[in-house]
């Protein structure tokens, strides 16, 4: 590299140094502390003891009987992990099923109407997550809008118990994260050339064939982006499962908070946090690989 080019690169690094330092201290620093805590012994009442130990990582998947020392799988932990992944995947599928026609409808409106619909989609972001969760709670509780409406219609004779179940958590997360699916899908559909659909009809393709072979492959980057934007935050969700699940239907985020709070087992909470981080990084890696494969300039 020539002298002026090298000087320009050095100036670029100097200009970006404050942002890199902030990112290192504010993001990587806390993650490093959590990673270190996961390899320490838990304190007598809270905190950690600075003694290296793999007990926390062992207890993520296994448990030891206090009487005979028999090692077995930690069924409670695995159940929480499975519930979290299951509800997150279900939330992603539901938001996709609702978000795709919604995004298609918005993208096919005239420009003025399209702006209004996009504005309506973004309105939930103006409200605190806790308030939105309590709003859903008022709809699905035993004396809520849904049960009251169905009873008045004569469909039900007594309220359906939805609140404090996995179904309630699923409904809440689907409502909360639906805009995160709609917006990437809209961005992908908005760039879609609708003449391709006309060409498909000219070749006597059915609507299902056009959707499967023309529309979905072209908007796949938006689908993948929307799925990642929904799956990642729903996997670590805390507020919605805590309010709608009532503390009985725990997810990974609630379990981690329990270890740092009432459980007073910081190393186990740190180990669980690192496991969650690995799952999220895996999802982001899948998104990156799919995006690179779809990018013609990659």
pLDDT at 266: 93
pLDDT tens for each residue of 161-209: 999 999 999 999 999 999 999 999 999 999 998 899 889 888 888 889 9
Of 22, 97, 60, 92, residue with least CA distance to 276: 60
Residue among 186, 180, 199 nearest 88 (CA)? 180
Question: Which pLDDT belongs to residue 3?
Answer: 55
Q: What's the average model confidence in pLDDT over 94-103?
A: 96
Q: Please say if the pLDDT value at position 96 is more than 80.
A: yes
**What pLDDT does residue 97 have?**
96
CATH architecture of 73-294: Orthogonal Bundle (1.10)
Checking if the pLDDT of 2 tops 70, the result is: no
Task: Give the contacts of 21 (CB within 8 A, at least 6 positions apart).
Answer: none
User: Any residues with CB less than 8 A from the CB of 291 and at least 6 apart, and which?
Assistant: 221, 224, 225
CB distance 271 to 42 below 8 Å: no
Q: For the chain, what are the domain ranges?
A: 1-35, 73-294
Residue 113: pLDDT over 70: yes
Short-list 254, 253, 245, 240, CA closest to 165: 245
Q: What is the pLDDT of residue 183?
A: 94
Averaged pLDDT of the chain: 88
CA contacts within 13 A on the Cβ side of 32? 7
Whether 12 shows a pLDDT value over 80: the answer reads no
pLDDT computed for residue 14 by the predictor: 78
**pLDDT at position 273:** 93
Q: Which pLDDT belongs to residue 255? A: 93
Least confident range of 56-60, 107-111, 136-140, 280-284: 280-284
Q: Which tens digits make up the pLDDT trace of 229-282?
A: 999 999 999 999 999 988 777 899 999 999 998 888 999 999 999 999 998 888
Residue 165 burial by CB count (10 A; 0-12/13-18/19+): exposed, middle or buried?
middle
Q: Which of 31, 77, 92, 19 is nearest to 281 (CA)?
A: 31
Q: Which two tokens stand for residue 239?
A: 């507020």
pLDDT digits (tens, 9 = 90+) for 125-141: 888 899 999 999 999 99
Residue 254 corresponds to which tokens in the numbers above? 């609630």
Does position 118 have pLDDT exceeding 60, yes or no? Answer: yes
The Cα–Cα gap between 29 and 22 comes to: 10
H or E segment at 292? helix 266-294
Span 291-295, mean pLDDT?
63
Helix/strand/coil for 204? coil
Rounded to two decimals, the pTM is: 0.85
**Per-residue b/e over 218-255, b at no fewer than 16 CB within 10 Å?**
bbebbbbbbbbbbbbbbbbbebbbbbbbeeebbbbbbb
Token representation of residue 16: 């970006």
DSSP 94-133: HHHHHHHHHHHHHHTS-HHHHHHHHHHHHGGGGS-HHHHH
Percent of the chain whose predicted confidence (pLDDT) is above 70: 93
Task: Evaluate whether 92 touches 178 at the Cβ level (below 8 Å).
Answer: no
Q: Which residue has the higher pLDDT, 72 or 297?
A: 72
Q: Going by DSSP bridges, is the β-strand pair 71-73/40-42 parallel, antiparallel, or unpaired?
A: unpaired
* Burial class of 133 by CB neighbour count within 10 A (0 to 12, 13 to 18, 19+): buried
pLDDT at 52: 92
């Amino acid at each position: 590299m020539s002298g002026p080019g090298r000087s320009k690169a050095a100036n670029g690094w100097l200009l970006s140094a404050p942002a890199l330092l902030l990112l290192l201290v504010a993001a990587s620093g806390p993650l490093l502390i959590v990673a270190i805590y996961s390899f320490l012994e838990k304190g007598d009442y809270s905190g950690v003891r600075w003694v290296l130990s793999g007990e926390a990582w062992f207890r993520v998947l296994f448990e030891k009987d206090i009487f005979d020392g028999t090692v077995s799988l930690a069924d409670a932990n695995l159940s929480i992990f499975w519930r979290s992944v299951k509800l997150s995947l279900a939330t992603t599928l539901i938001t996709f099923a609702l978000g795709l026609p919604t995004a298609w409808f918005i993208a096919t409106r005239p420009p003025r109407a399209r702006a209004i619909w996009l504005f309506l989609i973004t309105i939930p972001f103006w409200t605190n997550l806790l308030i939105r969760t309590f709003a859903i709670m008022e709809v699905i509780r035993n004396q809520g809008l849904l049960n009251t409406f169905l009873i008045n219609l004569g469909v039900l004779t007594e309220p359906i118990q939805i609140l404090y179940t996995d179904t309630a958590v699923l409904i809440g997360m689907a409502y909360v994260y639906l805009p995160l699916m709609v917006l990437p899908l809209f961005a992908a559909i908005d760039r879609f050339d609708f003449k391709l659909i006309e060409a498909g009809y000219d070749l006597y393709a059915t609507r299902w064939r056009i959707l499967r072979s023309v529309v979905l492959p072209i908007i796949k980057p938006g689908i993948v982006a929307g799925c990642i934007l929904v799956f990642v935050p729903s996997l670590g969700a805390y507020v919605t499962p805590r309010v709608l699940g009532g503390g009985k239907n725990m997810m990974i985020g609630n379990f981690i908070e329990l270890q740092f709070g009432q459980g007073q087992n910081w190393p186990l909470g740190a180990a669980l946090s690192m496991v969650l981080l690995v799952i999220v990084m895996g999802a982001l890696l899948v998104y990156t690989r799919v995006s690179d494969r779809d990018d013609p300039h990659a």
